[in-house]
Every structure is written in C-alpha cells, then in structure tokens.
Amino acid sequence: MAEFTLPHQHGKSRNINHLYEELSKISRFNMASEIFKQLGDTTRIRIFWLLSHREECVINIAALMNMSSPAVSHHLRPLKDCGLVVSRRDGKEVYYKTADTEESELLHKIVEQVMEVACPEGIVDYTGTQEEVIHRVHEYLVEHISEKITIEELSKRFLMNTTTLKQAFKAVYGNSVAAHIKEHKMDMASKMLAEGNESISVIASAVGYESQSRFTSAFKDTYGILPTEYRKAKKK
C-alpha cells in the first residue's frame, strides 16, 4: 500500500499509515458495530450481564428479569446469533450463558465499568466547602484503613476530580494521601504491636497490607526497626 499523507500537516504524522490501514478494514468495524448494536437495548444488557454471572434457563431468567419467557427468548436470539451467548440442552431444559470468549469477557468488563462510572453506588453529593469534603475523605480513609482504596475510587465517591483531590488533600493535611494514610497505618500497627498479641500477619492485614513482607518493610522504613523488635522493646 502506498504511503498515506494527510492533507494538512501539523507535525504529528507518526502512526498515520498504520491508522489508515486499520480504518480501511471496514469489516472489522462492522463486526464491532453489530456486537454493540445487540447491547444497545437495556433488557439485552441486563440479560447479558446476568448470563455473565450464571448459567440459567429461560424460565429462571424471566423470573429474575420480571419478564415473560417469550420476551426473554426474543432477546436471547440475537445475543446467541452474534456469538455473545451460547446454550446447551439437558433433557428437556435449555440453559444459556455467555460465550467463553475474549469478546464476551471484555464486553462484560466494559458493561460493569461503564455502570460503575456512570452510576456509582453509595455516592453522596457533598455540598460543603472543598476543605469539608477533604475532611470527609480523610474520615472515610481512616474508617476503611484495612482496605486498598485508589484515588480514582475516592474521586468518584466524593465527586472531585483526582488532581483537585490530591492537591486539596495536601493543602489541608500537608502531605499526600498515600503518605498521610501510611502514617495512620503505622500508628495503628505500633499500638497493636505494643498492646496486643496478634500475629504480624494479622496486624499487616488490619492496616491494609496484602503481605507481611510489605508491611514489615513499611514499618521498618517508618520506625527504623522490625515489627518483632518493636514489640519486644515495648513489652519489656
């Protein structure tokens, strides 16, 4: 294929030939369009989502969807025709589930991620000042100190863009979110080591570390000694 040249050159021509070649493969885009078209209906998305989680017969799908069996069958047919759903017969019963393909798995993830972004659960529309929202962010993190919470999750929950959240948090607490919460984690861990008898692995999990080795490394980085040494010193 001859080299493709854009009518207007703006100094960014890298990958133009590759993009032009890919855009020329119209059949691939037709296939993608057809798949998305089948999920362009709320009921079909619900059925597809359900069958991504469990295999079911038409009668049970209808019960879960509060629909009639014929209506469910009507929506299953195009999903099956485009390869997103498969069926198997067991005696007189026919069971349906999503196809065990990369396409179906990817679409399932896309559906769940889009729903999470567009309609996140548990979100509260805080109307206070930015500083008040940051204080609530802090309270939430401390209350869920054993969990791994990302900036993106905080952004969606507290309706604040990630950059603003990070900047505002540092302005209020004088440190980054990660560094500040690490201080809380280490403070909680040190109290548990000094006052309790829980194992190091239990303490690591309680303050949000997936492995004992990572917790030990973080603790030593903060206090200069290993958790076991800290406990021995405090118990004397």
pLDDT digits (tens, 9 = 90+) for 96-120: 999 998 888 888 888 877 776 555 5
Residue 12 lies in a domain: no
Residue 152 lies in a domain: yes
Q: Which domain holds residue 88?
A: 36-117
Cβ atoms within 10 Å of 128's Cβ, excluding its own = 10
Q: Is the pTM of this model over 0.75?
A: no
Same domain, 170 and 184: no
Instruction: Give the residues across from 93 on adjacent strands.
Output: 90
Same domain, 166 and 187: no
Same domain, 93 and 150: no
Residue 6 lies in a domain: no
Q: What is the CATH number of the domain that holds 62?
A: 1.10.10.10
Residue 135 lies in a domain: yes
Q: Are strands 85-90 and 93-98 parallel, antiparallel or unpaired?
A: antiparallel
Q: Which residue has the tokens 């469910």?
A: 72
- How is residue 80 written in tokens? 């099956």
Give the per-residue pLDDT at 111. Answer: 81
Residue 26 lies in a domain: no
Q: Give 127's pLDDT tier (boundaries 50, 70, 90).
A: very low
Residue 170 has pLDDT above 70, yes or no: yes
Q: How many structural domains are present in the chain? A: 3
Residue 30 lies in a domain: no
Residue 1 lies in a domain: no
Mean pLDDT (whole number) for 125-133 = 68
Give the per-residue pLDDT at 138. Answer: 93
Q: Is 83 exposed, middle or buried (0-12, 13-18, 19+ CB in 10 A)?
A: middle
Residue 137 lies in a domain: yes
CA dist 219 and 18 (Å) reads 50
The pLDDT tens digits of the residues spanning 33-55 come to: 777 776 777 888 889 988 988 89
Same domain, 145 and 201: no
